Amino acid sequence: MPHNNKLKMCIRLNANVHDHPKIYYDKLKKRKWLRIKKMLPRRSSEYGSLLIAKQTLRYFYGNFSEKQFISIYKKAKVLKGNTGLNLIKLLERRLDTVLFRMRFGNTFNEVRQLISHKHIQVNGNVVTSSAFLINPGDDISTNENSYDHVSKSVHNAFKTSLNLKEEPVNFSSRHNLIDILKTRKLMFTPNYIEINYNLLKGSFLYSPSIDEVVYPSPINLLQITQYYEHKLKI
């Protein structure tokens, strides 16, 4: 998604939904964005509040189509337990989400491109669907012929996300790096994913609890389920 569309999305939801580094470091010098950050939140109707809650979650996961989102919500509803929690667990099992959490890219578009171009394998088999659901114990790796390409993508993702310049990192400024990492929660690979950056290989260890899933903006699961249950009658 082009940067201007990302900016419009963040303005609409009044949040940096993706924790995108160009917005985080104010590299998108747009007057409207700078003005909107100083504004008080808009009042919205009950329906508007539910819609914003749903859109915030959908946009975080790369803004795939509403039809696909409804489909995965229906799957969550069939499973035992809380529908909202089941929804999060299913979203976290998507291949594009796992790669995003592994920091193979700063956006879902970047990791989806790796998938569609056949750079990614699951348990040794090439997978080209971003919606492919990973199971606990599955291994995610790079196609042998794609190692250099993916390695460059991962390097650029970290460089952009940490706001590093082209010159080598000065490790004497380690404390500054730690400060950055503390504020950028998405920089950390979660406990339910294991990653070896030297091999560009990771494992999905287990399906996470809601407390383990990190978002840059608050997620209201109750409002999301209300939107689908009461407004769309799903």
Tokens of 69: 């989102």
For residue 222, the one-letter residue type is L
Q: Which CATH architecture has domain 3-231?
A: Roll (3.10)
Kindly give, in sequence order, each residue whose CB lies less than 8 Å from that of residue 146, ignoring residues fewer than 6 positions away. Answer: 114, 117, 118, 119, 120
Round the CA-based radius of gyration of the chain to a whole number and report it.
18
pTM of the model: 0.79
Provide the residue ranges of all domains of the chain, joining segments of one domain with +: 3-231
Tokens of 215: 């978002």
Q: Determine contact, residues 190/14, Cβ cutoff 8 Å.
A: no
pLDDT of residue 170: 46
Q: Which ranges of 79-190 does DSSP label H, i.e. alpha helix?
A: 83-93, 95-101, 108-116, 147-161, 174-183
pLDDT of residue 30: 58
Kindly give the confidence (pLDDT) of every residue in the chain, 234 residues in length, as a single tens digit, with 9 standing for 90 and above: 444 555 566 656 666 666 666 666 565 555 655 565 555 455 567 788 898 889 889 989 988 899 999 999 999 999 999 999 999 999 999 999 999 999 898 889 999 999 999 999 999 999 999 999 999 999 999 998 999 999 998 988 888 777 766 544 444 444 455 565 556 667 778 999 999 999 999 999 999 999 999 988 888 999 999 999 887 788
Q: At what angle do helices 3-13 and 46-60 cross, to 10 degrees?
A: 140
Using CA atoms, how far apart are residues 106 and 153, in angstroms rounded to an integer? Answer: 9
Using CA atoms, how far apart are residues 11 and 19, in angstroms rounded to an integer? Answer: 13
pLDDT of residue 233: 82
pLDDT of residue 175: 44
Using CA atoms, how far apart are residues 179 and 130, in angstroms rounded to an integer? Answer: 33
Q: Determine contact, residues 63/223, Cβ cutoff 8 Å.
A: no
